[in-house]
Amino acid sequence: MRARAAIVGVADDASPTGELERSGRDLEVAMVAAALEDAGLTRDDVDGVCHTSSSMRLAEALGIHPTFTDSTNTGGSSFEVHAEHAAAAIAAGLCEVVVGVYASTPRSDRRAGRTRRRPERDPDDPIVEWELPYGLRLPMAPYAMAASRHMATFGTTSEQLAEIAVSTRRWASMNPRARYRDPITVDDVLASPYECEPLHRLDCCLVTDGAGAFVMTSAERARDLAKPPVYVLGAATCHDHSMISQMPDLTTTPGRVSGSRAFAMAGLGPADVDLLMGYDSFTITALLHLEDLGFCAKGEGGPFVEGGRTAPGGSLPMNTNGGGLSYTHPGMYGMFLIVEAVRQLRGACGERQLPEPQVAVAHGSGMVLSCMSTLVLGTQATV
């Protein structure tokens, strides 16, 4: 399946206010239309649909009749999973053009009174018996547990975690659509109140509206379309728990497996990567990615991020759009990892554009460090 499929269209929508005018299916359809236009394709070309809720309802709204359909939902990593599945389906000849889309508007929904009361949890869900009664605050507490364990085991400090937030904000300062663009310092992060110790508010992702979409097709067809193709060189997924209390090791995510498998498929390694788009729901999430994907050894993530290594001008650019910490985070952020990676590889990111990147990794994290999905993307089908 290596390089048999390519991403040929992307679109996303976010605002410095954190709110968007459109919502729901209207916003999803607008994103699909924008991504298809970016690819130089139309709805008539589409025969595959991915959606985290119902690919059937989306296809009906689009007026298409797909031969490939995927409603997988693994939380924030869903869109990397969708891209992996789409690449496999295209390689197998099940379909030729696949669209994936995501839209969520929690911020404007709350302001407009559109937020619905969350349904009661299934009483058979183990978290009801084994975690919630003990005061587990979601979603922060599971990540705070991982951060605490990493600190206790490896000596990681709050200052080192704060370096990630500072570097990400520096990237956001060059993104005119980012929610927050003003520079911050390590002291600013540490001075922000705790949300769940040891995580401060500035260690935590935003709550904003946001939407995005991607279009994939065969490598052969991609060569004749509107924009330079971005090839899927490697893709893999792994999950090892649902509840955080069942995570085998709070300092090691399933990204250790998905990352090594994706790199093996691509025939590449961490040293070949020009850009890491790593899901940053919290600073500890991003730090764990760096270790589990092999950019540094386990336990060395803290020293690795010091000195702006992932910031503009650093040796490993990470989350160049400003990430979930400063750009946007509508609930499931993985779509924006793909969009930014594709734009960087095309050379279309304006002020924040990297110098001629060839290989990017989009690494999604779903649920509570539960499901990791890794895409290795490249500008060339052969490397």
Say if residue 145's pLDDT is above 60: yes
User: Do 327 and 172 contact (CB within 8 A), yes or no?
Assistant: yes
221-271 pLDDT tens trace: 999 999 999 999 999 999 999 999 999 999 999 999 999 999 999 999 999
Complete domains list, the chain, with CATH: 5-111+205-378 (3.40.47.10)
**Cα→Cα distances 179→58, 129, 211, 311, Å:** 28, 37, 14, 18
pLDDT at position 110: 85
Question: Do the beta carbons of residue 155 and residue 251 sit within 8 Å?
Answer: no
> What local confidence, expressed as pLDDT, does residue 118 receive?
60
How much of the chain, in percent, has pLDDT values that exceed 70? 98
Q: Could you tell me what percent of the chain has a pLDDT over 90? A: 92
Which pLDDT score is estimated for 7? 98
pLDDT value for 113:
77
Whether pLDDT at 68 is above 90: yes
Which of residues 132 and 167 earns the better pLDDT score?
167
Average pLDDT over the chain, rounded to an integer: 96
For the four alpha carbons of 140, 145, 148 and 153, in that order, the dihedral sign comes to negative
b/e string for 59-87 if b means 16 or more Cβ within 10 A? beebebebebbbbbbbbbbbbbbbbbbbb
- 285/329 Cα distance (integer angstroms): 14
362 closest CA partner among 331, 335, 322: 335
Q: How far, in Å, CA of 13 to CA of 35, rounded?
A: 11
Band of pLDDT at residue 120, cut at 50, 70 and 90: low
Token couple for 188: 């600013």
Q: Exposure string (b/e) for 100-121, b if CB count within 10 Å is 16 or more?
A: bbbbbbbbbbeeeeeeeeeeee
Question: For residue 95, is pLDDT > 60?
Answer: yes
| pLDDT given at position 116 | 58
Residue 383 has what pLDDT? 60
Among 227, 230, 214, 216, CA closest to 40 = 227
Residue 174 has pLDDT above 80, yes or no: yes
Q: Report the pLDDT value the prediction gives residue 152, as an integer from 0 to 100.
A: 98
Whether the pLDDT of residue 82 is over 60: the answer is yes
Burial of 288 (0-12, 13-18, 19+ CB in 10 A): buried
Region 140-164 average pLDDT: 98
What does the pLDDT average to over 104-132?
Answer: 81
Q: State residue 122's pLDDT score.
A: 78
Distance separating alpha carbons of residues 69 and 54, to the nearest angstrom: 9
> What mean pLDDT is predicted for residues 71-76?
97
Judged against a pLDDT cut of 60, whether residue 119 lies above it is answered with no
Closest Cα partner for 335 from 98, 86, 77, 84?
77
Is the pTM for the entire model greater than 0.85? yes
CA 48 to chain CA mean position, Å = 21
State the burial class of residue 369 (Cβ atoms within 10 Å of its Cβ: 0-12, 13-18, 19+).
buried
